[in-house]
Each structure stands twice: as structure tokens, then as C-alpha cells.
Amino acid sequence: MKKVLVIGYVWPEPNSSAAGRHMLSILRLFKKQGWQLEFASPAQPTEHMTDLSAEGISSKSIVLNCDSFDQYISEMQPDIVMFDRFMMEEQFAWRVEKNCPSALKILDTEDLQCLRHARHQALKASREMSQSDLFSDLAKREIAAILRCDISLIISAYEMELLIDTFKLDPKLLLHLPFMVELDKIKKPTLSFEKRQHFLMIGNFRHAPNWDAVLHMQKIWPLIKQQLPAAECHIYGSYPPPKATALNNAETGFLIKGWAESALAVIEKARVCLAPIRFGAGIKGKLLEAMIMQTPSVTTTVGSEGMHNDEAWPGIVTDEIDEFAQAAVKLYSNQELWLGAQENAGILLALQYDAEKLAGKLIDKILSTEENLQQHRLNNFTGAMLKHHSMMSTKYMSQWIAEKNKK
């Protein structure tokens, strides 16, 4: 039985974020292989974290910059270690390397944070993203973490291309793994056009692109409301701050609903999902869940990025405020267009997000890399170079903090 250790940046919250749902789907896949699985994190427990014990997964609280992790990992001797986001690789990978060097190291990037950061910087300056935005210190850290690992899971097709074509990474170090949807468990049929009403936005308020989208929606909503006076915009998301709840306005129908017990349930009741996302990275869980519940969507180029290739989008994609409002009204009012978008959703899910196919790809990649691990690492000279002592600033900083804390 393989031993697998997953080191999480946060405890999984599948009802709060797409990242939490994606992580849980990977954990369940590993359990399905009969592997012994433990999830460890330095994060504080939260009210919305999933019950890992109910999934048959053990858990462990670990500490940053502390030698106690060395004893823990040395005793455990996992066969596979997966890091949730590059910051966890920076913190713990050198300790894994020291205590169990033969363990396969996987990085689950979730999305490229350097890309999200670069776009945010450009947006704040009201300009296009430049090469200097992208090739930031954050990018150097994130790409270095990818190179130090044996496999990195990349959620977006766009980011796969960016890593290979722009950052010149070896494709053998990467695996394109979008969200895994169990197609046979999708609810069919969902609510009809006539039984649905209102618009919906959904997303964790702590995620900067989601909060920006809510603020941007304030400019778009009056244009929609003018043509559809009875319509409302229901905005759901975990951890709404006071600045978000202050935007609630019953008179204009701009309603901050906050936490949703079931994202899929509220998405199904809406006639159209709105996602005016102006910056970000990865792929958008809210838009995938809209497809699952057959709720057509209006989003931006960034919103739909990496989620489809030549397949038609299940709704409308546009970046201009006026066009976005017109698209929302059109999709909300035109049943024929709405039904066509639903059909597109089913096609896209089957072609891009089939859990059975994606799970097979992931397990095959892990097993084949394990089988040829020594040669795989020899071929990755840049990764080996980044593990050299002269490049290990994170390691020495962590050791310094650990010694300082002892005093």
C-alpha cells in the first residue's frame, strides 16, 4: 500500500472554493487506489473545513519553520508527497528531500499565482499585462517550485501553454488536470427555463478576483436592471466582509446573500450565472458548476480562459460593460438561446471534464514517473540545480527561524 502525504496550504473547504472541491476530488481518487492517505497543514482549522476522517483520511497539524516536521516525515516515510500550492513546496520540500529523498514529489498549483498577480498589477494601472509584470519575483519562486518537483498539476490549458511556450518548461514535468466531474452523477434534468428566475454570482469573497468582479458588477447591474426591472442579482460566497454586505440593496435588487449551504442548489435556481472577471488565473469553478447545473453563463475572456478549446461556450463571452449587460439580458430573455447554451454545456463537460478519463491520466502519470524516477530527475537538470545548496535561501531562512524560535 502506497503512503501518500498531502501538505495543504489550507484545510479543504469544498463548499467554499473551487480549490477546495478540486483538492477533495484528488484525495478521493488517491483513496480509491487503496492508498494510505494523510493530510497535513500548518493552517488553522476553519468552520467550513471538510471532515477528512469521514473520508477515511487521517490529518495532522504541522508547524512552519520547525524541526518537528523532520521527525514526522522521517517516521512516516511516504512514497508520495503532494504540495498544495508552491508556498508549501518552498516551506517543506527541502525537509522531504532530506528525510525521504526517494518520495515522488507532486505540486498541485491550483492556478498560476504569478499570472493572477501580473494581471492584477496591470489592471490597477489600467494597462495591458507586460512581460515585466509576468516575469516577477513571484514567478521566479513559483516556476522554481515547479522545477524542483517531479510532477506539477496544471488546471488550465492556457497555463500549460504559457509554461511550455513562455517559461520553456519540459512538458514531461507537467500534467494538465482540470476539475474532475463525475458525469454519471450529474443531476438530469435540472429546473426548466420557466421555473428559474434571477441572476447569480458566486465565489469566495476572500479571493481578490471575486471581490473585484462584485465591484465591477455594480457598474453593469443598472444596465441590466433598466431592461429587466423585475430581475434580481443574487451574490453568494463564503466569508463576506462588512464592505460586501454593505452593498446589499433591496431596492435595486443587488442582493448579497453570503454563504450558500449548497452552491449547486442556488446555481440551479438561477436562470443565468454572471462572472464579470477582470483578472485571475486557473479555471473558474463557478462556471464549471454552472455547466453541471445547466445554468447558462455570461463571462469574460479571462473567465472562460483555459476552460474550452474549439467547443462552443455555454453562454456568452464578452469583455465590454455594455456588451456584457446586453448579453445577460439576451440570454435571460431568449429561451431558444438559453436552451442552446445548455446543450453546449453538456458537450463541453463530456469532452473536457470527464473524471474517469482525467483520473486515469493522473494515476498513469504518477505510476510511470515513479517507475522511471531516477532518469526523470536526471533529465531535469534545472530542477536539480535549484536544489543545490547555493540556491536554498528558503531552507536556510527556515532553519534560522527554527533556531531563533528555540530561544
pLDDT beyond 80 at 187 = yes
Torsion from C-alpha of 407, 92, 371, 180, nearest 10 degrees: 150
Q: For residue 227, name the pLDDT band (cuts at 50, 70, 90).
A: very high
pLDDT beyond 90 at 406 = no
Distances (CA, A) of 28 to 37, 81, 227, 328: 10, 15, 46, 37
Q: For residue 166, name the pLDDT band (cuts at 50, 70, 90).
A: very high
How confident is the model over 284-307, as a mean pLDDT? 97
Question: Tens digits of per-residue pLDDT, 356-367?
Answer: 999 999 999 999
Q: For residue 370, name the pLDDT band (cuts at 50, 70, 90).
A: very high
pLDDT beyond 80 at 391 = no
- Which residues on neighbouring strands pair with residue 59, listed in sequence order? 39
Question: Residue 177 has what pLDDT?
Answer: 98
216, with CB counted inside 10 A (0-12, 13-18, 19+), is middle
Question: Residue 165 has what pLDDT?
Answer: 98
Domain boundaries, the chain: 3-180+355-406, 183-352
Question: Residue 393 has what pLDDT?
Answer: 83
Strand, helix or coil at 249? strand
Question: Tens digits of per-residue pLDDT, 321-342?
Answer: 999 999 999 999 999 999 999 9
Assess whether the region 3-180+355-406 and the region 183-352 belong to the same CATH fold.
yes
Percent of residues, the chain, with pLDDT higher than 70: 100
Question: Residue 312 has what pLDDT?
Answer: 96
Question: Residue 271 has what pLDDT?
Answer: 98
Neighbours of 76 (CB within 10 A): 17
Q: For residue 407, name the pLDDT band (cuts at 50, 70, 90).
A: confident
Question: Tens digits of per-residue pLDDT, 111-139?
Answer: 999 999 999 999 999 999 999 999 999 99
Question: Tens digits of per-residue pLDDT, 305-323?
Answer: 999 999 999 999 999 999 9
Question: Residue 403 has what pLDDT?
Answer: 86
Question: Residue 359 has what pLDDT?
Answer: 98
Nearest to 324 by CA among 397, 407, 221: 221
Question: Residue 112 has what pLDDT?
Answer: 97
Question: Tens digits of per-residue pLDDT, 243-254?
Answer: 999 999 999 999
Question: Residue 89 has what pLDDT?
Answer: 97
Per-chain mean pLDDT for the chain: 96
Give the phi and the psi of residue 101 in degrees, each rounded to 5.
Answer: -60, -20
Question: Residue 158 has what pLDDT?
Answer: 97
Contact 46/14 with Cβ under 8 angstroms? no
Question: Residue 30 has what pLDDT?
Answer: 98
* More confident of the two residues 234 and 396: 234
- Chain centroid to CA 149: how far? 19
| The CATH classification of domain 3-180+355-406, taken from the options 3.40.50.300, 3.90.550.10, 3.40.720.10, 3.40.50.2000 | 3.40.50.2000
How far apart (Å, rounded) are the C-alpha atoms in residues 78 and 70? Answer: 13
CATH, domain range 183-352: 3.40.50.2000
pLDDT beyond 80 at 390 = no
pLDDT beyond 80 at 219 = yes
How confident is the model over 33-52, as a mean pLDDT? 95
Question: Residue 286 has what pLDDT?
Answer: 96
